[in-house]
Structure 1
């Protein structure tokens, strides 16, 4: 764990606001929750009419003054300056380690993202009506402050409904007891919705760019409304009005689902207060073991819906979730949405004019505890994302970096409009389509003249075409020498478009004193880091050609790497460079009449180790390490922070005057190479061993199954009506048995039904609602009848087990796998959990008692919260917690259960993780029998519910441990609750595994949470 270089923020928040949005300025003196006296959201026409003149814009977190946010059909504008928004989705609750939020945010920023999209999970903050927790792992004020400090704009998405594969789509489970339909203007639901928005907007509102309080740039109202009926339009209109009244002054939008339908457009039904139209697109689909869908063009359709607003992808496919019972793991989803798709998708979105793009997910994370929706994901929410669940960088991030850097460097992209595409000559492989966009806006006031930047995109029209094509095309530069009959010009060369590939070319682009006529390489970035730099890349082994224009013939020197061929055209004044992509080479161009230019030519593999950073007083280009996080010039020194996964070379192009380097606060010896870059050697991490988990203490943990267990303190389940009819009463039982109706929302719930048979019983029929992959175990007078999944099952009562006139007890343990989302707006999330009905032949009247998580919706352990625990006996007794008394438990090396039911296992592991490093640990369950044995395991680490393993369902075996759950330098408690449906089943072993170590990282601490003694004392 390393020390973080930035001090905590101490600047006080201002409550006085001056909101300026879409050209309308209002002076507002507000308390946090007071209504706004005027609308801060004009009709879209006001935004389109706003001044287009660009001004110098610095990131708002640097000055904390109010900024204007306007827009037109091309882009957002801040203070009149156009802005590309390149964003990644991050869910804070899926990384329950607040110190590591900064790690993910820094990785986004370093990789070229300038924004982060944040859903806010209502149920995570509210265990009961009127109660909201924004502390500890739920401290979203801290999260928003971090985003600002790291230089990221924020797309705020607080719902109320968010979907997100979160339990109940983000709604709190207590809302399942409401009678009216959710996601409508039903009075009870709407009142709860507005109360949540008031609470969360009190925090979001303090971080708006329009008020100078932070970096919140735009705000989403609700999410993916799938029903466009009048009642749903009324609902979303009421939400918009409330959001504005609560002081949100940045532009509002709604995310139109499924590639967009033209619903809730600004100024239309459902969009009266919206400024922007946005949609989501997942072109490949979600079957990571199946066939991929295809890409398509959408610009004209989307502009037909909302012609005056920019193309805004609120969710663009960055991976796919993995559901219970599938035959693939999350790493298969990473392959399904691989680097090739990532590049194709980015190229296609550029070709379609998207200037606001958000990748879902950028970091997926973990559905720890019971936070996930059971229908669309298990514990891991890795999603196949570019940053993996254990926060490791994957090859997809380098592809996204290419396009983040490109759009930041070549600023005219943001204003480019469709133009006639060049005609292609294609040899070999399948057909290739070309699209061209052109901008007449200049990059900056010092640029040399040009006809307007061209952005040319090439890809196979069938995005799943696996053939390789070679392409040439004419480039028309009318009025400037007539253009070129063939690009590339060198005979026998071409632009290669490999199978499932795409590329983006820049032509007629002026930057500083330089003019790039065209390049068949992809322009990664251009910057000034003590010298003018142009960085290019391409697929290894393919031809590259770059043409620059100069007043006179310049000198060309290949500083390092393979030689570059140069050709001078004295008529056009063109310098042509020809080369093959592969490895890295540096070329210096001098004496052409402008400033000297250093060209770094690499390949796509090299982009992973290429980092462009703002050093405060200039820019820095860093080559080599796994990650370069931050840069700061201090006098003649440059302080860098970052990560290394192995020892290697660091090469740095730094501002003029920089002579020395530090890396993670340690001086490194650096020398200058022939290109003027500082070169040093960086160490890698040492091996990090982990302790074995081979000795356990064990105890049975299901006395509730027995006939004589005392349940007198349990809650009576005797209600005969429910406001939500889906919750009962049961047709046979006549009572409402749903867990939510009695304040027990998550995990396991025990039921005990007391009755005196009027006749000898022969059958028991049990109906449960568990969600996908849940189960129930049934005992009668302590005799195990069997187990079942969601739905109904009938059990035969053994002869003589019960007798007429003799009291009997039916005990049922039900595993609730979480609340379904309400994706279809059809009430699925209100379907109920726990027992739905029980029909006991000859039972007569049955008295039911119910027990779930200790404290119900008022948990004693507020640090870990509602989603951490269910109602297992061991959970109620605190056996999952560090310090729980287990000295009297039996020692064992086996994790196999001797009978059906619940058994607990506990052990400790002492860690000594190296300081200054970041080690990702996980628990792995081994079972050589595959999915045959029916049992499941809850895994707890230091009291935190880390994962749910279901052997007979699968597929997950390895469970990432969020770093905040661990004590890196001390003793850690691992507890397992094994629920077996058969005798003799359980894991072969549970191992602690090291998923990887980097030298570097961000400092982290264990989450603050009570141990056994602290909770027992309350």
Structure 2
């Protein structure tokens, strides 16, 4: 049963006095407003924020532009925010995408900031003709279920000092990016006619040194704010405490306006209802902690992440668990607690394409949000809109005090114990508000047939006897900045972590050379790839075996009852006849990097993840490895060739290194390939990697907004496979066949060309002997008439050139 809350009952006194929006001026004892001393354009008191003299209830939603890399679609999402009654968009910017290597800033194309800020301002006039406001998250660190929490991968490998502290090496690393962000913020802040009203410093951190943590956190926050002021940023700074912990309210590194994140609903979408009851102590904590500021929830849970694994239930189930019933209980509880600044995480989630996600989560970042990954309105959007329109129209609600609740029958008498009611009152006008809640609680589109017409290429030449690794990087480093040191190895042997050699994304290959005596029985290997990773091992081209990590559900739960596996330590027995006595033997290892760990609240060094080989030792003889070679994506994070899609798009499969996934690949290349489709599987039944590519056209009327997806279905008998999906060069999905849960991948217009030629490419990695057969198809998930205007295809003008240095 759904309980519809009685949202507001205005008192008879308020109705009789019919006040105007300027009624606050009649208050003989006005509340003192504070500002940060740099500008009075944005000020505050215990009730709310005031912007250019106008009180506003900050009612916002999160948006990650990097998870929707089609700038022409940003306005569509912002318009849906506005229509839901939201007046604020809260934005994360991804440091790692914009600063791919030391000394390099890349704000071109989809990473440009000004078009995004212009779109936020453009969508409409709001609150006494104040432009749509933009509460902007700067970072540098963002969390957001991104690899290394959005830090550049080069920072995790090359910075010796403690991350997220005021260490000199970390400060040197973030300063160019931070200064650029400060400069564009100064040009777009509200005092300069722009939409930005607040800046958040970093994300969910602790202020002071603690057991197991590193020094310099408070100094780091202080340095970030001083750098902003030096560049002319005058608007207030904010912070989101990960709990009711009092971090950065006062003392070194304090911000102007303090806030707390709230994820009281838990992260388990299987149960069909929020995991815990509502928190009723927001106002109590606020009064005790920062009573002169508005009660601010920078991130309020409106969905959940879903981890890898067969027990994950998918985001549609999350949209039920955190649906309209949840909103009508948990959101309204905020208003009862006098929250006057809130941003929903997420209002629109998007897609973690390429190698954006950290190791716990898969490609979709739908989050069970009110606006689905494919930009479609969902049923829970209607409840969000109902609440938003109330908050937009009830001006007197902005300045209310909590008088009491139904636990005191003298203040709020109720006759039904299943109903919980809070009474709030405007001290100036006398308007009263009772917040009541339950006590706890398609048009026809023709799509191409993808069952045939594919071209096939063997994408694992690396295991063939005549393959030369001469051009690969020599793995010869003996030290690492990572605190996670190797477990074992040859005496004075090298460190085999991919990031040490600039290979931090996707698949990485290792080749260990040794001269065999003939007595070697196998090799012990500890391989680290993050949760849900896999690795396959060959000796002299003969398959040895594969090893597997695992994820855990829920992704965030304490204590962890079912530990995830980020690395495995196993013995790999050499197959009979694979060893070449007296000759050079080559051990080939292919493994995933599923993304680097985020940092802990108290210790950011966890992002220096040791992805690679943490232990290696030949068994059966005293033989040691003569040398190790390594190869990941072409160019690593310094010289990657695809500057359109950026540093996180490509991994290390041979076909990727060759650029065979890119749309402009000439027919003269594919004409030499064989005709073979994914349902036919690889050309061999042995473990390996096959690459499939197909060209197709779409002709979708521009008057339609259509949501399309690509779907994978296992039609064979071997479940041990993984796949990567590329659409017009963009890595739009990663599939783990024996783990799931994602087999459906929404792809936006702008990645797809709705009026012309497209290319779909799929790499299938088979991990165990036996034929793998996978059906790939397209589907129309929804269609509305009206369209959204011209959507340019990102990267449509790019050309293809044979990739120099391909190895």
Same fold (TM over 0.5): yes
The whole-number CA distance in structure 2 between the counterparts of 1:697 and 1:103 is: 36
**CA contact under 8 A between 2:203 and 2:239: conserved in structure 1?**
yes
Cα distance between partner residues in 2 of 1:292 and 1:987: 39
Partners of 1:834 and 1:394 lie apart in 2 by 41
- Cα distance change, pair 969–406 in 1 and its aligned pair in 2 (3 A): same
Which residue is equivalent to 1:802?
A: 579
The alignment status of 1:294 with 2:294, answered yes or no, reads no
* Cross-structure match for 1:268: 251
1:608-661 CA-partner distances (Å, limit 9, x unpaired): xxxxxxxxxxxxxxxxxxxxxxxxxxxxxxxxxxxxxxxxxxxxxxxxxxxxxx
Task: Give the equivalent residue in structure 1 for 2:168.
Answer: 187
Q: Deviations over 1:279-304 (max 9, x none)?
A: 11011110111362110221011221
**Residue matched to 1:399:** 383
SS of 2:690's equivalent? Answer: strand
Query: Is it true that 1:892 corresponds to 2:679 in the alignment?
Result: no
CA distance in 2, matches of 1:49, 1:881: 52
Tell me the equivalent position of 2:729.
943
CA shift digits 1:543-572 (9 cap, x unpaired)? xxxxxxxxxxxxxxxxxxxxxxxxxxxxxx
Picking from 328, 333, 339, the partner of 1:343 is 328
- Residue in 2 aligned with 1:831? 609
- For 2:627, the equivalent position in structure 1 comes to 847
- Give the Å deviation of 1:728: 4.4
Which one of 859, 862, 865 corresponds to residue 640 of structure 2?
859
In 1, the alpha carbon distance for the partners of 2:501 and 2:768 equals: 30
Query: Could you tell which deviates more after superposition, 400-409 or 413-422?
Result: 413-422
> Which shifted more, 401-410 or 280-289?
401-410
Task: Kindly provide the CA deviation profile for residues 152-203 of structure 1, in whole angstroms up to 9, marking residues without a partner as x.
Answer: 2111111111101111101001111122221112211122122221122222
Report the CA distance between 1:426 and its aligned residue: 5.2
Deviations for 1:937-956, whole angstroms, at most 9, x for unmatched residues? 00011111010000111101
Give the alignment partner of residue 588 of structure 2, picking from 787, 796, 811: 811
Partner of 2:396: 412
Contact kept, 8 Å, 1:753 with 1:848, in 2: the verdict is yes
Contact 1:353 1:417 in 2 (8 A): yes
Partner SS for 1:102: helix
Note the C-alpha offset of 1:807: 1.1
Q: Distance in 2 between matches of 1:762 and 1:979?
A: 27
- What is the alpha-carbon distance in structure 2 between the residues aligned to residue 985 and residue 192 of structure 1? 48
* CA displacement at 1:984 relative to structure 2: 3.3
Contact 2:512 2:625 (8 Å CA) reproduced = no
Tell me if structure 2 keeps the 8 A contact 1:311–1:356: yes
**Is residue 2:677 matched to residue 1:692?**
no
Number of the residue aligned with 1:158: 138
Query: For the Cα contact (< 8 Å) 2:359–2:532, is it kept in 1?
Result: yes
Cα separation, 1, equivalents of 2:228 and 2:61: 24
1:625-664 to structure 2, matched below 5 A, reads none
- On the 8 A contact 1:698/1:905 being kept in 2, the answer is yes
> Could you tell me which residue of structure 1 aligns to residue 437 of structure 2?
459
Partner secondary structure for residue 909 of structure 1: strand
Whether the 8 Å CA contact 1:71–1:309 is kept in 2: the answer is yes
Report the Cα offset of residue 460 of structure 1.
2.9
CA distance in 1, matches of 2:509, 2:368: 36
- 1:234 aligns to what? 219
The TM-score, its normalising length taken from structure 1, stands at: 0.69
Residues 270 and 694 of structure 1: is their aligned pair in 2 closer, same or farther, counting only changes over 3 Å? Answer: same
- Residue in structure 2 matching 1:135, options 108, 120, 134: 108
Aligned equivalent of 2:478, options 720, 723, 728:
720
- Secondary structure of 1:299's counterpart equals helix
CA–CA distance in 2 between the matches of 1:961 and 1:1015? 27
**Matched residue SS, 1:184:** coil
Matched with 2:556 is: none
SS state at 1:996 partner: strand
| Cα deviation, residue 360, structure 1 | 0.3
Q: Is the 8 A contact 1:412 1:441 kept in 2?
A: no
Residues 297-333 of structure 1 show CA distances to partners (whole Å, capped at 9, x for unaligned) of 2101122111110001100011001111133111111
Residue 799 (structure 1) shift: 3.7
SS in 2 for 1:867: coil
Stretches of 4+ aligned residues off by more than 6 angstroms = none
Structure 2 equivalent of residue 328 of structure 1 = 313
Q: Is the 8 A contact 1:127 1:172 kept in 2?
A: yes
What do residues 803-828 of structure 1 show as CA deviations (whole Å, max 9, x unaligned)? 44211111111111111111344322
1:381 deviation in Å?
0.4
Change (3 A) 1:425 1:74: closer
Counterpart CA distance in 1 for 2:544 and 2:341 is: 57
After the TM superposition, which of the residue ranges 1007-1016 and 357-366 deviates more from structure 2? 1007-1016
Matched, 1:876 2:657: yes
After superposition, give the CA deviation of every residue in 1:849-903 in whole Å (9 maximum; x if it has no partner).
1111111112111001111111111111111112432122222243423320100
Report the 3-state secondary structure (helix = DSSP H, G, I; strand = E; otherwise coil) of the residue aligned with 1:816. coil
| Equivalent residue, structure 2, for 1:528 | none
| Contact 1:819/1:829 (<8 A) preserved | yes
Write the deviation string for residues 405-450 of structure 1: whole angstroms up to 9, x where unpaired: 111111011101112457466566x5322111111445xxxxxxxx
Aligned ranges for residues 356-375 of structure 1 at < 5 Å? Answer: 356-375=341-360
1:119/1:158 contact within 8 Å kept? yes
Q: Kindly provide the CA deviation profile for residues 554-594 of structure 1, in whole angstroms up to 9, marking residues without a partner as x.
A: xxxxxxxxxxxxxxxxxxxxxxxxxxxxxxxxxxxxxxxxx
2:73 aligned residue: 100
Match of 1:674 in 2: none
Q: In 2, distance between residues paired with 1:67 and 1:1015?
A: 57
- C-alpha displacement at 1:1012, in angstroms? 5.7
Question: By how many angstroms is 1:48 displaced?
Answer: 2.8
Given that 2:658 and 2:803 are in contact with CA atoms closer than 8 Å, whether structure 1 keeps it comes out as no
Q: Are 1:220 and 2:200 matched, yes or no?
A: yes
Change in Cα spacing, 1:1008 to 1:928, as seen in structure 2 (3 Å) is: closer
Point out the structure with max Rg over C-alpha. 1
Give CA deviations for 1:96-143 in whole Å, capped at 9, x if unaligned. Answer: 111101110111112111110001110011110121111111112110
Aligned partner of 2:553 in structure 1 is none
* 1:123 maps to 2:96: yes
1:669-717 Cα shifts (integer Å, max 9, x gaps)? xxxxxxxxxxxxxxxx631121110112212111111233111111100
Distance in 2, matches of 1:698 and 1:983, equals 19
- How far apart in 2 are the matches of 1:49 and 1:906? 58
Q: Do 1:727 and 1:737's aligned partners in 2 also have CA atoms closer than 8 Å?
A: no
Q: Matched residue of 2:389: which SS?
A: helix
Q: Retained in 2: the 8 A contact 1:766–1:839?
A: yes
The answer to whether the 8 A contact 2:662-2:800 is kept is no
Cα contact 1:902–1:979 (8 A) shared by 2: yes
Task: Indicate the residue corresponding to 2:597 in structure 1.
Answer: 820
**Corresponding residue for 1:956?**
742
Q: CA RMSD in A?
A: 2.2
Does the 8 Å contact 2:726/2:733 carry over to 1? yes
Shift of 1:987: 4.2
Distance (whole Å) between structure 2 residues aligned to residue 876 and residue 359 of structure 1: 39
Using a 3 Å threshold, how does the CA distance of structure 1 residues 67 and 387 change in structure 2: closer, same or farther? farther
Give distance in 1, aligned partners of 2:646 and 2:796.
10
- Any conservation in 1 of the 2:329–2:438 contact (CA below 8 Å)? no
Structure-1 residue corresponding to 2:418: 431
Aligned to 2:792: 1005
Q: Which runs of 5 or more residues in structure 1 are unaligned?
A: 1-44, 52-65, 443-451, 465-684
Note if contact 1:717-1:848 (Cα within 8 Å) is conserved in structure 2.
Answer: yes
Go from structure 1 to structure 2 and tell me whether the alpha carbon gap of 1:415 and 1:820 turns closer, same or farther (over 3 Å shift).
same
Change (3 A) 1:983 1:823: same
CA contact (8 A) 1:226 1:823 kept: no
**Within-5 A mapping of 1:661-810:** 686-695=443-452, 696-726=454-484, 728=486, 731-732=489-490, 734-789=493-548, 790-810=567-587
The structure with the greater share of residues assigned to strand is: 1
Counterpart-to-counterpart distance in 1, 2:308 and 2:514: 37
For the Cα contact (< 8 Å) 2:516–2:579, is it kept in 1? yes
